[in-house]
Structure 1
Amino acid sequence: MKPTPVRRILWVIAILIALGLLMAGLAQAQPVQVTDDRGRAVTLPRPPQRIVSLLPSLTETICALDQCHRLVGVDRYSNWPDAITRLPQVGGGLDPNIEAIVALRPDVVLLATSSRASARLEQLGVNVVALEPKSHADVQRVLGKVGQVLGVPDAQRVWRHIDAAVEAAAQSVPPAARGVRVYFEVNRGPYGAGASSFIGETLTRLGARNILPASLGPFPKLNPEFVVRADPDLIMVGARSVEGLTERPGWSSLRALREQRLCVFPPEDADVLVRPGPRMAEGARIMARCLASKAPSGTKAQATAAVRP
């Protein structure tokens, strides 16, 4: 008795599903090798299913790749998306709780190159991948590295979305706000966002001018007098750092403070802005709104820019 056309189609579908499951299983079983930002080659027997992240931007990257379910622990500062706030917290990058991390039996720990946890975890036999993005190019590269570790194909789709959304934010900035000279304070110190940082690169794409040149590095610690001499048109700062700005030597004379050209970001927005990861597009939109609402007129901004280095 010959099979009917419908039965043949069902057989073909069943075979294709079986092959798909087989290929997925083989992919899961394949070893993973990645070179991290320390220049170390890390080999994992298979894509990790239990991950601890000690850097908020890496936590957010894992979730942006739809792999939040693999996280079993995070640092105390990781707070997005909401689902990860229910995970065990294992300290921070500078003060990790090694015992708590090991107790979670992670297949791999993702952390910053500056973290103090790497050496001790590796001594205890825990796989470590250190990644630390500081520029747009770094964010794109780290997305690829995390996708490689997780075995996620086309991780760069996230970067394409970020890039397109940052460009859209740039288009929303009114011409009158372009050329505005900006000081962006990352945190007290004061530490600023230099032109070579991902924040500085976003400001450039939005048409603003950063008072901190690339030669100072991504996030330099500044002498407060540097900002006084630069006298920016607009200051961007998080609510956690705004207290006492006018008490810094000479800062009461800054035109941006006298004329209330100051954007103070609430903690949830500040977190978005200072994390080099998948929410950079949202950060660009926040900065674009600041430029549109607080910048002086284009003529004045361009005139002041023309007479300053």
Structure 2
Amino acid sequence: MRVVSLVPSLTEAVAATLPGVLAGATDWCARPADLDVPRIGGTKNPDVDRIVALAPDLVIANEEENRAPDLDALRTAGLPVLVTEVRTVSQAWPELDRVLTACGAPGRPRWLDEAEAAWAALPEPAERVTAVVPIWRRPWMVLGRDTFAGDVLARLGVDHLHAAHTDRYPRVPLEELRAAAPDLVVLPDEPYRFTADDGPEAFPGLRCALVSGRHLTWYGPSLTSAPRVLAGALRAARG
């Protein structure tokens, strides 16, 4: 099989399971760190001609991460495209299994069993806290309804305040985010790279949790350690 991946988390999943199968990946596919394959542009602006020239047997994509016109162009060029939809942790298991099987995996990889077991063993949170979860600034955008990251946080006892918003990633003025007075402001390091010096200063008087965006938003091998890594960061922020 020759596979081109348009999704960083799927790139990591395929590379961990089927070394040598990837024939191309996006510029944002940073895992594994030693991945040496042709780069085909970004997730939102892939070079369709470059992908076609690579002659893959399969292109793997995601309904949220990638644009429908790009996927349609790849199909028009005669390439099979598998599109995933993952908006909850529970959806991740069958979708990852489906992708890896389509890429030629002879069976379910151990890391996927370990990841599912890690989330199944997660204890019921002793208490629940509220949060706002910015994913961008200038303008400020936050997690809204029906998101994978929102489900991850909910399983860890964090209820984000825009879960019922009509938009999945609404723009919300900073003043409104502050006025909501959440127990926590959760600041991931992707897609916007929030850091100790870029993000917390916008929320004076509020507790901020700097978390790994890979563990919060990726569905792949990172799901094995995500419960432990995220729970530790959230616990540290709450003191």
What TM-score does the superposition give when structure 1 sets the normalisation length? 0.65
Partner of 1:54: 6
Name stretches of at least 5 consecutive residues in structure 2 with no aligned partner.
Answer: none
2:130 is the counterpart of 1:181: yes
Q: How does 1:264-279 map to 2 (within 5 A)?
A: 264-265=210-211, 269-279=212-222
**How many pairs were matched up?**
230
Q: How does 1:87-166 map to 2 (within 5 A)?
A: 87-113=37-63, 114-115=66-67, 116-155=69-108, 158-166=111-119
1:92 CA drift (Å): 1.2
Instruction: Report the secondary structure of 1:145's partner residue.
Output: helix
- What whole-Å deviation, never above 9, does each CA across 1:236-264 have from its counterpart, x for those lacking one? 213523536645xxx54xx31xxxx2122
Amino acid at match of 2:70: A
Q: Which of 243, 263, 267 does residue 209 from structure 2 map onto?
A: 263
Q: Which of 36, 58, 63 does residue 15 from structure 2 map onto?
A: 63
Amino acid at match of 2:75: E
Q: Which of 142, 146, 159 does residue 196 from structure 1 map onto?
A: 146
Fraction of identical pairs, as percent: 27
Amino acid at match of 1:264: L
User: What's the C-alpha RMSD, in Å, of the aligned pairs?
Assistant: 2.7
Partner of 1:46: none
Partner of 1:74: 25
Q: Are residues 244 and 198 of structure 1, via their aligned partners in 2, closer, same or farther at CA, if it must alter by over 3 Å?
A: closer
What TM-score does the superposition give when structure 2 sets the normalisation length? 0.81
Name stretches of at least 5 consecutive residues in structure 1 with no aligned partner.
Answer: 1-48, 297-309
Q: Are residues 238 and 201 of structure 1, via their aligned partners in 2, closer, same or farther at CA, if it must alter by over 3 Å?
A: closer
The answer as to whether partners of 1:122 and 1:128 remain within 8 angstroms in 2 is: yes
The answer as to whether partners of 1:193 and 1:220 remain within 8 angstroms in 2 is: yes
More helix by share: 1
The answer as to whether partners of 1:90 and 1:100 remain within 8 angstroms in 2 is: yes
Instruction: Report the secondary structure of 1:69's partner residue.
Output: coil
